[in-house]
Structure 1
Amino acid sequence: MQHIIDRFVSYVTIDTESDPNSDTTPSTKKQFDLANKLAEELKTIGLKEVTIDKHGYIMATLPSNVDHEVPTIGFISHFDTTPDFTGKDVKPQIVPNYDGGDIVLNAEQNIVLSPNYFKDLLLYKGQTLITTNGLTLLGADDKAGITEIVTAIEYLVNNPEIKHGKIRVGFTPDEEIGRGADLFDVKKFGADWAYTMDGSQIGELEYENFNAAGVKITFKGKSVHPGYAKGKMINSMLIANDFINELPKHETPQETKGYEGFFHVTGISGSIEETKLDLIIRDHDMKKFKKRKELVHDITKKFNKKFAKQFGEDIVITTIKDQYYNMKEKVEPVMFIVDLAEKAMKSLDIKPLIKPIRGGTDGCRLSYMGLPCPNIFAGGHNFHGKYEYVPVESMQKAIDVIIKIAELTATTDFSKTEKKKSKKKK
């Protein structure tokens, strides 16, 4: 397992934090520090057609080693890390033979990773964990996925007795800020279908995700000396607060689960004269998703009507932009690709956990771009923060799943699958 640890650590110690306020791709130049390293590494392990474009998108090919026709499959991960928490100067800690107790991440600041709060830790008693030092995130989202893909493909290169078809590898920038698929060339990638290695707990297999929208709201106000403000001052910050209170109180991330959608305030800043509010809307059900967006517009109209006479123009300006949609619609017609991944897991004694993603991956948008793309576990937990960790054994299992999917793809008669689909249509 040491080679997995070494490879993963070499990736996470490179800062690749993305920036939602940038208008370039990648959004930060430092993402190229890892992107260029990955491109060279793929060449070194023997892959063909290794390319990296000016936007940081990496693609490579492992040629087929069988003489019969096999669908081309792909494996995809992203190399940026979230701007939600710093990814600079990551110093991973290795915890061998985890004993099931508290892990002190940072003694000086008394930062502790405890199973009393993060109960999933107890699933990995006796295993080797990689954690943060309590001051940064780890970057397992999604450098664990990259580690697994590179290691699995390297294994296939070095073990040609394992039969497989053509395999395409893709690494993307800016997934964490919702732009990972923006400039992904599906036609150039050339796969019949793909899998993102971007899930969490071992066994996760996902082909449903949230419909998602981002909301930007500007609240206007009027600043007047507080001693003479009666009937004149309009404090935009208080209006923003009242707007938030109009949203359903219990439909927030911390109070929902499974298929339940939510409204989530992600940022607020302002003054008396102007306040800006950032909000995201999530729901698996398209009808409910549309109703959530309508509610935000209705509240906007309500406030504008209330202040129309006093302010003289719209006091609330709302912009809603759809970000991605539920990939279920695009994956269900080709459910055999999910079945294939499930079969691979079961053959490795991994219990498949088929559930909806409470979020999104590059695969959501890629599915709508013509590349059906379910999501498979990468093994990490507690993404986007200082309590992030990944069991090395889970990474090894993910590597095994990639290899097994490749092997099964080369030995499955997909013509029977097509016949079944035709019968269902009739």
Structure 2
Amino acid sequence: MIKGYEHTVTERFMRYVTIDTQSDPESDKHPSTEKQKHLSSLLAEELKALGLKDVHTDKYAYLYATIPSNTSKKVPVICFCSHIDTAPDCSGTNVKPILHKNYNGKDIVLPDDTTQVISKKDYPYLKEHKGHDIITASGLTLLGADDKSGVAIIMDLANYLTTHPEIKHGEIKILFTPDEEVGQGTAMLDLKKVGADYAYTLDGGEAGTLEDETFSADAVRITIHGVIAHPGYAKNKLVNAIKIAGAIVDALPKDEWSPETTSKRKGFVHPVAINGVAEKATIDFIVRDFDTLELKNHEERLQTIAAKVLKKYSRRARMEFKVTEQYRNMKEVLDHYPKVISYAKQAYKRAGLKIENEPIRGGTDGSRLSFMGLPCPNLFTGMQAIHSRHEWVGVKDMQKAVEVLAHLVHVWEDAS
């Protein structure tokens, strides 16, 4: 918390999460849902009211804005970025945020569905917030802290810097993106409009976490072509693609190589969807590993498993195996720009935080931005239990993130 400053992050967050911005993985449009534009437009108006420059949204729901430099020094341009969409994993319609003031340290029963309990056992980080304010949803929806906590933090930073011109900084860019949750967060981004040298996403968890490493990620689609026949006369003719798809999934290892059996630096292969009819069925997988070269090994292993199942079922069925690159480990880029992490660590220390530098078992817009030429690690927001009805965030974490950003812009100015 910044001493003497009346933070706006809580009020902003409570408003932003009530706006439904859920993205749609089945859409081929940009943005994937028109409703994301509602928040983008609102944020643009608020930034204009704060006096920011070059504020505009485009037809894809990206929002670009500039906080002008107030120093005579030549400082690299940095960008702060968060995504406005929420995950399709859980409803984001009619979110009712609840501010639990002076949290008492007990399990939290959510009022609109009392079977939903945010427990200290499941979420031990709750103990760090006893006596402080936290925010939850009401039990029927996700909260949207992923990533409206990041959005609110950046907006509060803009408010702080425009009302405290004594904080010296270079030019700062603000970027809000759509469709991060469906892997399209940078699909239509105009990097020239961003106009930054380095960036930081605000899309992390516990206070003090600093992330410069993500999974590398591919998608795999297996398409099974069966042989169709009338079921009344199908003996020795029908080859059911749905059954083959089920058998492939069943043939996957049960005690390793999956999200539910791995942690830390272990990669996995994860089936996320099965679709089809007896004649033709598809299985969609995500493939993840911190070592990009290991992705090919995972994919070859998966293809071998699927081919064995197919051969066992019928030589008349056939299979297509398609790999699509999704994103790559940001560390491959960030290792070439050590000051981006070094300056962030200085800001954390100035804010009195113990730094937890750990890899993300997932990805962020920062992964793609880094490989697009904008080195971009990930900073914390405080968000917890994301993509679920148990999602919550601590107010003190969001306020501390604003403080870190205020220190960070000064670190960059100080070092120039």
TM-score range (shorter-chain normalised) is over 0.9
Distance between the aligned counterparts of 2:179 and 2:339, measured in 1? Answer: 29
Which stretch shows the higher mean deviation, 183-192 or 165-174?
Answer: 183-192
> What is the alpha-carbon distance in structure 1 between the residues aligned to residue 291 and residue 101 of structure 2?
43
Identify the residue that residue 393 of structure 2 maps to in structure 1. Answer: 390
- 1-side partners of 2:293 and 2:190: how far apart? 30
TM, length-normalised to structure 2: 0.94
Partner of 2:37: 32
- Distance verdict in 2 for CA 1:2–1:287, change over 3 Å: closer
Give the one of 356, 360, 365 matched to 1:362.
Answer: 365
Structure 2 residue 270 is the aligned partner of structure 1 residue 267 = no
- Aligned residue in 2 for 1:167: 172
CA distance in structure 1 between the partners assigned to 2:112 and 2:182 by the alignment: 32
Q: Which residue of 2 aligns with 1:83?
A: 88
* Letter of the 1:288 counterpart: E
- Structure 1, unpaired ranges of 5+: 414-426
Deviation at 1:106, TM superposition (A): 3.0
The answer (yes or no) to whether the contact 1:106–1:112 under 8 Å persists in 2 is no
404, 407, 410: which one aligns with 1:404? 407
| Corresponding residue SS for 2:316 | helix
Cα distance in 2, alignment partners of residues 122 and 251 from structure 1 = 32
TM-score when normalising by structure 1:
0.92
SS of structure 1 residue aligned to 2:376: coil
Question: Does the alignment pair 1:277 with 2:283?
Answer: yes
Query: How far did residue 300 of structure 1 move?
Result: 4.0
CA distance in 2, matches of 1:302, 1:320: 19
Report the CA distance between 1:229 and its aligned residue: 4.6
Partner residue in 2 for 1:295: 301
Distance 2:217 2:316 in 1: 35
Q: Residue in 2 aligned with 1:417? A: none
Which structure dedicates a bigger proportion of its chain to helix?
Answer: 1
List, as ranges, runs of 4+ consecutive aligned residues in structure 1 with deviation greater than 4 Å.
223-230, 303-308
Match of 2:241 in 1: 236
**What whole-Å deviation, never above 9, does each CA across 1:24-62 have from its counterpart, x for those lacking one?**
111100001101001111111110011211111111111
Measured after TM superposition, the shift of residue 287 of structure 1 is 2.0
Q: Secondary structure at the match of 1:333?
A: coil
Match of 1:207 among 181, 198, 212: 212
Q: Amino acid of the residue matched to residue 65 of structure 1?
A: N
Match of 2:377 in 1: 374
Determine the C-alpha separation between the residues in 2 that align with 1:109 and 1:215: 39
SS in 2 for 1:212: strand
Q: Unaligned 5+ residue runs, structure 2?
A: 1-5
- State the match for 2:350 in structure 1: 347
Cα distance in 1, alignment partners of residues 180 and 316 from structure 2? 43
- Which amino acid is 2:144 matched to? G
Paired residue for 1:419? none
Residue 308 of structure 1: how far off its partner (Å): 6.1
Question: What is the distance in 2 between the residues matched to 1:166 and 1:248?
Answer: 51
TM-superposed CA distance for 1:309, in Å, is: 3.5
- Residue in 1 that maps onto 2:115: 110
Aligned to 2:3: none
Secondary structure of residue in 1 paired with 2:224: strand
1:117 is displaced (CA, Å) by: 1.9
1:300/1:317 contact within 8 Å kept = no
Structure-1 residue corresponding to 2:68 = 63
Indicate conservation of the 8 Å contact 2:247/2:309, yes or no. no
1-structure distance, mates of 2:153, 2:349: 19
2:311, 2:257 → 1: CA distance? 26
Identity %: 45
> How far apart are 1:82 and its partner, in Å?
0.8
> Alpha carbons of 1:310 and 1:216: their partners in 2 closer, same or farther (altered >3 Å)?
closer
The CA deviation at 1:168 is 0.5
1:338 aligns with 2:341: yes
Deviations 1:238-269 (A, max 9, x none): 21122123333321112111111111121223
1:156 lines up with 2:161 in the alignment? yes
Give 2:261's aligned amino acid.
E
Post-superposition CA distance 1:250-296 (Å, at most 9, x none): 21112111111111121223333332222111000122112112223
Query: Displacement of 1:101 after TM fit?
Result: 1.0
More divergent stretch after superposition (221-230 vs 247-256): 221-230
| Separation of aligned partners in 1, 2:231 and 2:387 | 41
Structure 1 position 2, deviation (Å): 6.9
Q: CA deviation at 1:228?
A: 5.4
**1:2–1:374 CA distance, 2 compared to 1 (3 A):** closer
Q: Distance in 1 between matches of 2:35 and 2:180?
A: 15
Given residue 42 of structure 2, which amino acid in structure 1 is its aligned partner? K
Distance in 1 (CA, whole Å) between partners of 2:9 and 2:159 is 12
Residues 95 and 141 in structure 2, CA contact (< 8 A), matched pair in contact too: yes
| RMSD (Å), alpha carbons | 1.7
**SS of the counterpart of 2:305?**
helix
Q: Secondary structure at the match of 1:106?
A: coil
Report the Cα offset of residue 150 of structure 1. 0.8
- SS of corresponding position for 2:153: helix
Distance 1:55 1:138, change over 3 A: same
Question: Partner amino acid for 2:338?
Answer: M
The residue identity in structure 2 corresponding to 1:135 is L
Secondary structure, counterpart of 1:294 in structure 2:
helix
Deviations 1:303-347 (A, max 9, x none): 455556434xx2x22221010000111100111110111111111
Q: How far apart, in 1, do the equivalents of 2:125 and 2:363 lie? A: 22
Contact kept in structure 1, 2:210 and 2:380, CA below 8 Å: yes
Which residue is equivalent to 1:421?
none
Q: Which residue number corresponds to residue 254 of structure 1?
A: 260
The structure 1 residue matched to 2:183, chosen from 170, 178, 182, is 178
Give the Cα separation in 1 of the matches to 2:168 and 2:37.
33
Counterparts in 2 of 1:307 and 1:112: CA distance versus 1, 3 Å: closer
**Which residue type is aligned with residue 253 of structure 1?**
P
